[in-house]
Amino acid sequence: MDGLFLEIGPWRMNKDQTLRMINGSWDEYANLLFVDQPIGTGFSFGESNSYPTTLTESTEQFLTFLDKFFEIFPEYAKDEIYIAGESFAGTYIPYISSAILKRNNERKTVEYQKVIRRIAIGNGWIDPIAQGLLTGDSKTRANKALKECMSHLKDDLRINDESCEEILNVVLDASVKTDESGNKTCVNQYDIRLTDSYPDCGMKWPYDLETITEYLRRTDVIGAIHADAQKIGWKECSGQVGTGFDKDISPPSVKLLPEILSKIPVLLFSGDQDLICNTNGTQDLIAGLEWNNGKGFQNSNPEKWYVNGSLTGTWQTERNLSFVIFHNASHMVPYDAALGTMDMIDRFMGLKIKFDNLIPSRVENEKVEDVTNSTAGSLNNEPSSKVNASEVNDESDEMWDRYYNAGTASLVIVIMAVIGLVVFLFRGKLFRRMRSVNQAMKAVVDSNENTEMQELVIETPLFGLDDDEVSTTSLTPYNDEQGNHETATNTPYKDVSDDDQGNHGIATNTPYKDESDDDDKTKYNGDDDDNSGHEIDHERNNTRLQAAVDTDEEH
């Protein structure tokens, strides 16, 4: 749910809990269905003994939800499925997509298969070795932690290993500075351009979540989205759910990628200002990955990518795998770069070929291949074949007619991190934004909740702190038209504790304008844009979101 207001949804939330429209929302060409998962997070609820303890269980529960959703809304049963997300979604997405592909193979009739087309992962946690280890020239403490971590991973490679926690702690501790008043600060592990009070180091970031949580606990919002069955109020993360995964011995999702890549295109994208799931780690992961008869990128180079006339990053594609780097973007890329991520998903879904009214953008030396292949992820699970631009143009009428047909659509499932899951219903027939809003709810204080970012990856519960150790200094993000943000010292972030597994969904990128005083702001290329200030009619309901919550209750 927080992804709706932070990243890919059509709105941003002001401090007074009013909403404004933004440019760059993924609902420009999609219907969005937000799902809180696993059970026990967000509005999702169940008996505590039903909480998943392994990735296999959480995957099965989500597939059950998906089946139930299609039973209730059969008009979407044959929608094409796209799955995208960030952070620990780098683990969730391969497990879910692999399960769907496997189940399709077992279900011989098309009637019972799900049409999964592509997956996209941003700053994802995929490979604990390539993404989590330091090199041999590290300091003594880091080297010791590295050896212990390597020893454990060599004996039993799994997503959860506490011996690896110390490595990131070394990096964060090295960034600690003490001011004249004796206050300690450290780098924000999700955006290295920012600092935070020590030992928080970004655990409570992004700080908009305080307002969003209060909004989603208002009784009028709960009523508007029909989430009344959940009695304790919206809760982004659950420590009980998180600790349930502590003993999970599931292998890292990198083990699943080669088989997935043999069936459907995969996009990995990365904000270059992230530390915890950083770009270097993703590059190392790709360099060591063997897929489709090759290891790493062999016959392609990163090409400069421009959006709205500005250099946004680089784009590289080969053998069904695309890798996109966003310049000046954090762990939550859509939070910083709304238009860029919108253009990215348009390209990945092949929309740039058909429509000339999308965001002006270009990739140098661009070649149309895997990412625009209309046969990718077909129900027979055949590998995607490469096509060129002329082939796409020749088949474009047939390729796009189904999107204008009321009986066909595409379902894009966007998983934020550990708990958030968003479903995009891509319908060429609609091509409009759903600008209605769900009225929000009365705050129900829960001292045990934490932010999604506090415990980012299941296998690295890095920063467990006692409640009295957590600072309440808060920053408020601000975005300009390119998505760069600034921070301001504002109201304290409440109700943050030592829970595990806090995570969020990938969300619309677009500017958040801070309405507070500017005295304490630290700016990062933040020019005001014209996307703020549009309040939403609170009497209108978002029927798709309502459907999501109704279905979530069924789950």
What is the tens place of the pLDDT at every residue in 485-504? 433 333 333 333 333 333 33
Residues 6+ apart with CB under 8 A from 397: none
418 versus 198: the higher-pLDDT residue is 198
Q: Which of 143, 119, 200 has the alpha carbon at shortest distance from 411? A: 119
Task: Please tell me what DSSP assigns to residue 337.
Answer: -
Let me know the angle formed at the C-alpha of 14 by 12 and 15, rounded to the nearest 5 degrees.
140
Residue 33: the pLDDT is 74
Residue 235: the pLDDT is 78
Domains annotated for the chain, with CATH where assigned, are: 2-554 (3.40.50.1820)
Residue 84 has pLDDT above 80, yes or no: yes
Burial class (CB in 10 A: 0-12, 13-18, 19+), 54: middle
Tell me which of 146-150, 249-253, 296-300, 320-324 is least confident.
146-150
For range 86-100, the mean pLDDT = 92
Confidence band, pLDDT 50/70/90 cuts, at residue 145: low
Residue 318 has pLDDT above 80, yes or no: yes
Confidence band, pLDDT 50/70/90 cuts, at residue 80: confident
Determine the residue type at 375: T
| Catalytic residue set | 87, 274, 331
Task: Please tell me what DSSP assigns to residue 380.
Answer: T
256 versus 152: the higher-pLDDT residue is 256
First to last CA, the chain: 16
Burial class (CB in 10 A: 0-12, 13-18, 19+), 432: exposed
Residue 99: the pLDDT is 96
For range 229-243, the mean pLDDT = 79
- Per-residue pLDDT of 17-60, as tens digits, reads 999 998 888 887 777 777 787 888 788 888 877 889 999 999 99
For range 237-248, the mean pLDDT = 82
Percentage of the chain lying above the pLDDT 90 cut: 32
137 versus 328: the higher-pLDDT residue is 328
